[in-house]
Amino acid sequence: MVARHFTLISLVCTVACSGEQGFSSGTAPETVPEDPAPVTTPAQPQTDPTPEATVPDPELTEPPFEELTVAPNPVDFGDIGVGCTDESVVTVTNTGELSVVVDDVTVDDANFLTIPDVLLPTRLAPGDSFLVDVAYGPGDVSSHSGLISVHSMLGVATADVLGNAVTGMDRSELFTFSASPPTDLVFIVDQSGSMGIHQSELNDNFEGFIANIEAYSTDWHIIVANSDDGCTNSGLLTNTTPDYQNLFESAVERGGGRWLEDDEALLTVSANAADNMGPGLCNEGFMRPDAMLHFVLVTDEQDQSNKNWDHYVERIRAVKGDDSLVRISAFIDDGWGNDEGYWQAVDETGGLNADIDTNNWATYMPALAQASFASTRFTLAGSADPASVEVYVDGVLADPMGWSFDGTSVQVDAAILDLDGGEEVDVRYNEPLACN
């Protein structure tokens, strides 16, 4: 029994282990066709299923950088004074098709400053923009340049920024000296009782005044206009008028009216005289277009005109049509408070402010004559640093004793500089740049 059991087991093992598909007891086994040899293929790597395509959520992910523009480019501040600050504005625009986050705006030169008008970082949708203030405050005299950079995660947009820091602008203004410039002088003399001594002082120095005038030019017109309406009471006097000195002296001591006898108002009379210089009026033929119009006022009282002093100055300037050719000088008594009106008119027009109580009017005659001519005073178009002013005559540096600068104009002395007419006067100076 034991041996037989072993044989059965061996048989089963033989059949099973040999790959037989079956077996039969006591009969021949049915032939079973063999299976074809199995075909094996290389093992394929395991992959996850392909996910569906998705659009990033702009609120959760940073979209790709497309394009930013910065305009204008470049930002050019031009010339600016050291210590000054100028400002400009640039626009940052998203010109791409997707939103972009701007993280920061910087500039790589310490002379410039950028200040966005939004809190950064900021997200720009397509077509959106924001502004950036750009300031230039140079600390030294030099040309400066920098780069404005607009930063995002995936790219940087830039613009150039330029500026030139200077202390001022060098200027040159050319004038022509005239040997015999014309001048039109109006004398208006207070006729009140206290003025007798001063009228005599003026008459005593008239001849010396004419001598000083003719050192510059013989082309002068003079009228005396003491009446309220400003009409001449001397007639037109020139260097060819017979006995012009006696005519002048006689006119100085007469005339006048309500304004001069009761309330001295010589600025009113001056404006009235100017108003009457047109065709068909009482002072016709006196004023010439290219001549200096010079009013010489003589009074020991403050001006008591109805309006402020500048009203009368502007009336005179309107008649003349050229502010630079209007001048007012005055012999006044500061002790009476004459700084209220006359002093301001004199200062405004660049005339001579003289003391009526001086014992020697002759000392004023050269300056009064000089103030009567435009050619001796060259008004500058710009604001000059006084220390920088230089004067050249026909290209040669002029003797500094032969000219002076009063803050707005250069006055030349023809005698010292030996000018006889036609010379080119070149005034060179540095004009400080004013801060905006």
**Distance set, CA 4 to CA 8, 119, 223, 254, 417 (Å):** 6, 98, 170, 178, 157
Are the beta carbons of 352 and 297 closer than 8 angstroms?
no
- Look at residue 215 and tell me whether its pLDDT is greater than 90: no
- Look at residue 13 and tell me whether its pLDDT is greater than 50: no
310-355 pLDDT tens trace:
999 999 999 999 898 999 999 998 666 555 789 999 999 999 999 9
Q: What is the mean pLDDT of the chain?
A: 84
Q: Which CATH architecture has domain 68-166?
A: Sandwich (2.60)
Q: Region 150-179: what's the mean pLDDT? A: 91
Q: Does residue 122 or residue 11 have the better pLDDT?
A: 122
81 pLDDT band, cuts 50/70/90, is confident
Among the listed residues 208, 240, 105, the one whose alpha carbon sits nearest the alpha carbon of residue 161: 105
Domain ranges of the chain: 68-166, 183-378
- Look at residue 6 and tell me whether its pLDDT is greater than 50: no
Q: Region 98-118: what's the mean pLDDT? A: 95
Most confident region among 19-28, 183-192, 335-344, 352-361 by mean pLDDT: 183-192
Q: Does residue 63 or residue 169 have the better pLDDT?
A: 169
Given 3-state DSSP classes, what are the helix, strand and coil percentages for the chain, each rounded to the nearest 5? Answer: 25, 30, 45
The pLDDT assigned to 389 comes to 97
- Per residue, the 3-state secondary structure of 386-432, as one string, reads HHHCEEEECCEECCHHHEEECCCEEEECHHHHCCCCCCEEEEEEEEE
- Look at residue 4 and tell me whether its pLDDT is greater than 60: no
Return the minimum-mean-pLDDT range out of 2-6, 138-142, 217-221. Answer: 2-6
- Look at residue 50 and tell me whether its pLDDT is greater than 80: no
Both structure tokens of 170: 């060098």
Q: Region 225-243: what's the mean pLDDT? A: 95
The pLDDT assigned to 39 comes to 47
The pLDDT assigned to 358 comes to 83
183-378 and 68-166 share a CATH fold: no
Buried b (16+ CB within 10 A) or exposed e, 286-308: bbeeebbbbbbbbbbbbbebeee
Q: Are strands 183-189 and 100-107 parallel, antiparallel or unpaired?
A: unpaired
- Look at residue 61 and tell me whether its pLDDT is greater than 70: no
**183-378, CATH topology level:** Rossmann fold (3.40.50)
Strands of 396-397's sheet in order across = 168-176, 424-432, 390-393, 396-397
Integer-rounded Cα radius of gyration of the chain: 50
Both structure tokens of 367: 């300056």
Q: How far apart are CA 78 and CA 146, in angstroms?
A: 14
